[in-house]
Amino acid sequence: MTPLRQRMTHDMQLRNLSPETQRAYLHHVTGLARFYNTSPEHLDLEEIRQYQLYLLNDRHQSPEAVNQFVSGIKFLYLTTLEMPWTDEYFPRARRAHKLPIVLSQEEVMAFFDHVPTLRYRAALMVCYGAGLRVSEVVRLKVADIDSKRMVIRVEQGKGKKDRYAVLSPRLLKVLRVWWRTHRSAEWLFPAWRAGYHLNTSALQMACREATARAGITKRVSVHTLRHSFATHMLENGTDIRIIQVMLGHSRVETTAHYTAVSPQIVAGTCSPLDQLDSQVRKQRKPKR
């Protein structure tokens, strides 16, 4: 390990960045160094800019991937190397605004009917029934299920934040059936190897297989179940601030994106065209 890589790793650890973020940042910094065959500390802004254009135009990487590169490089130069540069020197690629894919309630039922095993069905039901991320589901421990208070404790979720999610009676029943068939002292969804929890890739594979078997043509991932949870909660009249807390969003604006997804909310909104005649009559009505 080079001194620069070690120093950057220590800086990320001091700022409590997640292991996934650390690996991603180091991956992008290594790619930059290999491209120029020199240490990144010897590069200037123009060379960084040319490499970013290379990622977009030659490698055809997505805006999300390029922006992750920008985040890693910013950390290297502004935090580790302490260069006197500002954010404007690190332009980000503009991402297309796309609405998240959401399953209807009928599609959710068909989906769960085709999940192959009880292990995967219980885990995927946590994603939809409580709105958890796939990484949060696989790391759940048996002690995180609080049946007395009917909540699920999410320990160190995204952003290193703890929170509580809803535990529905139906989900609790499914989890109890699963636990009785495969009792575990620690992980709620243990892997086949002792001491390890279920792998996120395995759960994603089970999700894709269930989608195909159910005949659902939408592009569904485990995260789609979380999107569906939030959208269906909104359609049922749940306060958006409550959904924000359960999803673990830092800003309510992030949760508000789901209002654009729900066709029921859109269809139930009154258009000003429908009120045009009544409003005009009200204004024309003579005052006594």
For residues 128 and 252, membership in a common domain is answered with: yes
Q: Is 182 a catalytic residue?
A: no
Same domain flag for 117 and 17: no
User: Could you say which of 158, 164, 213, 257 is catalytic?
Assistant: 158
Is 118 in the same domain as 242?
yes
The residue from 62, 89, 116 where one domain ends is: 89
Q: What pLDDT, in 10s, does the model give residues 227-269?
A: 998 888 888 888 888 888 888 887 877 777 776 666 665 556 5
What mean pLDDT is predicted for residues 70-98?
90
Out of 25, 51, 77, 258, the active site residue is 258
- Choice among 163, 226, 227, 232 that is catalytic: 226
Q: Which of 133, 139, 163, 197 is catalytic?
A: 133
Q: In the annotation, is 133 catalytic?
A: yes
Active site residue 226: yes
Active-site annotation holds for 196: no
* Residue 283 pLDDT grade (very low, low, confident, very high; cuts 50, 70, 90): low
Give the helix/strand (H/E) hosting 225: helix 222-235
The answer to whether 285 is a known catalytic residue is no
* pLDDT value at residue 274: 65
Domain count, the chain: 2
Based on the domain organization, do 153 and 195 belong to the same domain? yes
Q: What is the pTM of this model?
A: 0.69
For the cut 80, the answer to whether the pLDDT of residue 38 exceeds it is: yes
| Parent domain of 17 | 3-89
Average pLDDT on 16-25 reads 90
Q: Which of 5, 74, 141, 223 is catalytic?
A: 223
Overall average pLDDT of the 193-218 stretch:
92
Average of per-residue pLDDT across 59-64: 91
User: How far apart (Å, rounded) are the C-alpha atoms in residues 29 and 261?
Assistant: 37
Q: Are strands 161-166 and 145-146 parallel, antiparallel or unpaired?
A: unpaired
- Separation in Å, CA 251 to CA 64, 99, 136, 160, 254: 20, 18, 19, 15, 6
Distance linking the first and last C-alpha atoms of the chain: 87
Whether 129 and 233 share a structural domain: yes
- Residue 96 inside a domain? The answer is no
